[in-house]
Amino acid sequence: MDQKEKKLLNNLKIILKTKKEAITILNNYFKGGVGKSKLSSMFAYIADKFNLKVLMIDKDLQGTLTKDLAKTFKFNDPRKNFYEGLKNGNLTTSIVHLTENLDLIPATFDLMLLPKLTRSWTFENESKLLSELLKPIKKNYDLIIIDTVPTPSVYTNNAIVASDYVMIPLQAEEESTNNIQNYISYLLDLQEQFNPNLDMVGFVPYLVNTSSSTIKANLEELYSEHKEDNLVFKNIIKRSNRISTWSKNGITENKGYDKKVLSMYEKVFLEMIERIIHLEEEK
């Protein structure tokens, strides 16, 4: 870690000290397969390395994040699964420890029952469920990072209402301004109703095919469209075979390209921290 990065993490610690509770970050967008869950699991690994106390929450019944973390870290099932925790109004027994710094609320297929549980509730109570249950837990962490599904649903509504910041990974070569605008409108609607403090950190471009020139042109277009709001991350994620290997065998740091790929995610993580610090200072 260089001086600038150390300073950044120090500044974050200072902000957290006054806040006295975790900053909650959501990785989400209404598009599947854009690397949201991978970003979440890499953030877990990196935050742990940087000695931040982190709670990861997997609110996707497919459990992509949970399965991915299980390749790198050892953990048992929680005493009560995530759905039971939500149902009983207590999430503490749904948390498992991965390392000294890193905790996880693993996904469970029972999350499938959530829409049924909340069917007769008001929209407000339903949307605020996760947020309310995180309140007593937030003081135990520096960051809470939520991963969820790419569709409008009780899962995403809960995650959006429980978050301070949204990170929006998108596939630069395929994305349209219209889709982005629709997603932002969705966020704004929930922000207005239930979570006035919600803010966007920005868009993280995910490039699947880095060689084609049209893709570079699309990325340039995305940057120029957001020149004024500065929402597009300078650091981007590129497709890498290392990631597929890590998905099978867990993250390593001493094989070919390990350092390069890890550093690609570290740069995005640190840019996120830098952007959050700016946003916090503006508050």
Ligand X SMILES: Nc1ncnc2c1ncn2[C@@H]1O[C@H](COP(=O)(O)OP(=O)(O)OP(=O)(O)O)[C@@H](O)[C@H]1O
Q: Which residues bind Mg ion (CB under 5 A)?
A: 36-37, 64
Please list every residue from 69 through 128 that binds ligand X, using CB under 6 A. Answer: none
Give me the residue whose beta carbon is nearest to Mg ion: 37
CA torsion, ordered 8, 9, 13, 16, to nearest 10 deg = 80
Minimum CB distance to ligand X, residue 36 (Å): 3
The first and second tokens of residue 69, run together, are: 């973390």
Q: Is 237 among the residues that bind ligand X (CB under 6 A)? A: yes
Residues in contact with ligand X, shown as a per-residue x/- string from 160 to 179 under the rule CB under 6 A: --------------------
Choose among 205, 265, 249, 248: nearest CA to 50: 265
Q: Is 249 among the residues that bind ligand X (CB under 6 A)? A: no
Q: Which does 156 bind (CB under 5 to 8 A by kind): Mg ion, ligand X, none?
A: none
Question: 95-119: buried (b, 16+ CB within 10 Å) or exposed (e) per residue?
Answer: bbebeebbbbbbbbeebeebeeebe
Query: Are β-strands 96-97 and 102-105 bridged in parallel, bridged antiparallel, or unpaired?
Result: antiparallel
Q: Is 63 among the residues that bind ligand X (CB under 6 A)? A: no
Nearer to ligand X, 35 or 85 (CB): 35
Q: Is 64 among the residues that bind ligand X (CB under 6 A)? A: yes
Q: Is 36 among the residues that bind ligand X (CB under 6 A)? A: yes
Minimum CB distance to Mg ion, residue 7 (Å): 32
Q: What is the DSSP letter of 22?
A: P
Contact 54, 141 (CB under 8 A): yes
96 φ/ψ angles, rounded to the nearest 5 degrees: -120, 155
Minimum CB distance to ligand X, residue 112 (Å): 15
Q: Is 32 among the residues that bind ligand X (CB under 6 A)? A: yes
Which amino acid makes up residue 20? K
Which amino acid makes up residue 141? Y
Binding site for ligand X (CB under 6 A): 32-38, 60, 64, 150, 237, 239-240, 243-244, 247
